[in-house]
Structure 1
């Protein structure tokens, strides 16, 4: 086995687990090579926000017109079957092994990106949940992903630097304008957060319109952060795009 892959494997995966999708046996992770190949890997995409595009290496029109406060989004997949189902089951049904599997694959994706020249951040910051939502769900999926990534990539986790101070309706199902209204005063920076001059990476499960990432990156930049990237599992296409 390649030394990098051996280092990326946590202790709970140091055996030959069954594939969590088709239940085939064997493999380094609980997914077989056939199912892994069939995941909706992100092909051509915007070099800034990772919006799926028919071409590679170019920014999308929206990022050209209004550059976002974050520098780059890294996501392995389009938000499509079966990744959408796996994320939903992890996020809303507490299927943590599915989330851990996706986190392991995201860690591999990021290791490759770092090897290709993506700067490593100084710390990982999970997108926060408001207290009522956290009590209802019982866990913050972004924080779990960030903790797994931090362990695998040897990056520090700063889970208390970002605060969700207002709890509006869930972002899922809202259009872009409603998402912006919903989040305008939703976030704050902890008084003990020391972000000045740092390269930071936000961690979330899915990037849809990018509104949450926009507000959080702007908050960090205004506090003096030098660079903000976004790491997530999947990027949604534009409505109507294949």
Structure 2
């Protein structure tokens, strides 16, 4: 058994034996020994296609490994992005169940998809440390968990990269980005994050991986990356389960 397979199995066992027992696929309802059956995984989580190496938006096949025009026109604070899948039907419903429905058993499966994407990403330099995108205190209290952290825990084990659950703080509850007009999303994230007290030395000169469930406009991740860069991070990469395709 490969090292990756051992880590994957260990992560699933730690997440709960339910992932190893016969169950129903959350996408098609058929029999499965994982939250998503093999057939659905093959259909809805395709292999790595050409994406912008900076923001992970899809590119034409001839542009593989390049940076898209949007990132060239306005360089983000983050340096790279790896996405496990597109945020599209039916995977969007899976994400919503994890994010709002308390379906935490889906997190290790998402982490497995994401780990494979990281290992397969051409030229991607793995970060030295992982940081889940934090929730504001009110939203965390309301939901009871941070879905980004639930993905980051098994991802840390799969990749063998140290997880720092409280590396960043989100002291205020900003309006959800999905409720904010696209033109106001960047402003909504301004001053949203802080580096945790006592962690400044851990940030300086390091390559930090930001883990999240979905990347849409990228403003949330950009604001967090800018915060880390402001406090001396050498490089920041996004590692997101799903990337919303441009419309």
TM over 0.5: yes
Match of 1:34 in 2: 39
Deviates more, 1:208-217 or 1:57-66: 57-66
**Conserved 8 A contact 2:27-2:94:** no
C-alpha separation in 2, matches of 1:137 and 1:227? 31
TM-score where L is the length of structure 1:
0.89
Match of 1:206 in 2: 214
C-alpha separation in 2, matches of 1:86 and 1:72? 25
C-alpha separation in 2, matches of 1:58 and 1:210? 18
1:133-144 correspondence to structure 2 within 5 Å: 133-144=139-150
Give 1:109 shift: 2.1
How many residues in Structure 1 have an aligned counterpart in Structure 2? 236
Q: What are structure 1's unaligned runs of at least 5 residues?
A: none
Match of 2:193 in 1: 187
1:140-179 correspondence to structure 2 within 5 Å: 140-179=146-185
Q: What are structure 2's unaligned runs of at least 5 residues?
A: none
RMSD in angstroms over aligned alpha carbons? 2.0
Greater than 6 Å deviation, 4+ residue runs? none
C-alpha separation in 1, matches of 2:173 and 2:234? 28
C-alpha separation in 1, matches of 2:112 and 2:144? 22
**Conserved 8 A contact 1:161-1:192:** no
Q: Does 1:105 align with 2:113?
A: yes
TM-score where L is the length of structure 2:
0.87
**Conserved 8 A contact 1:163-1:188:** yes
Deviates more, 1:143-152 or 1:6-15: 6-15
Match of 1:225 in 2: 233
**Conserved 8 A contact 2:35-2:106:** no
Give 1:16 shift: 5.7
What do residues 143-202 of structure 1 show as CA deviations (whole Å, max 9, x unaligned)? 111112112222111111211022121111423331112111211111211200101100
**Conserved 8 A contact 1:40-1:81:** no
1:81-96 correspondence to structure 2 within 5 Å: 81-96=89-104
C-alpha separation in 2, matches of 1:134 and 1:145? 15
Please state whether the residue corresponding to 1:221 is helix, strand or coil.
helix
Please state whether the residue corresponding to 1:45 is helix, strand or coil.
coil
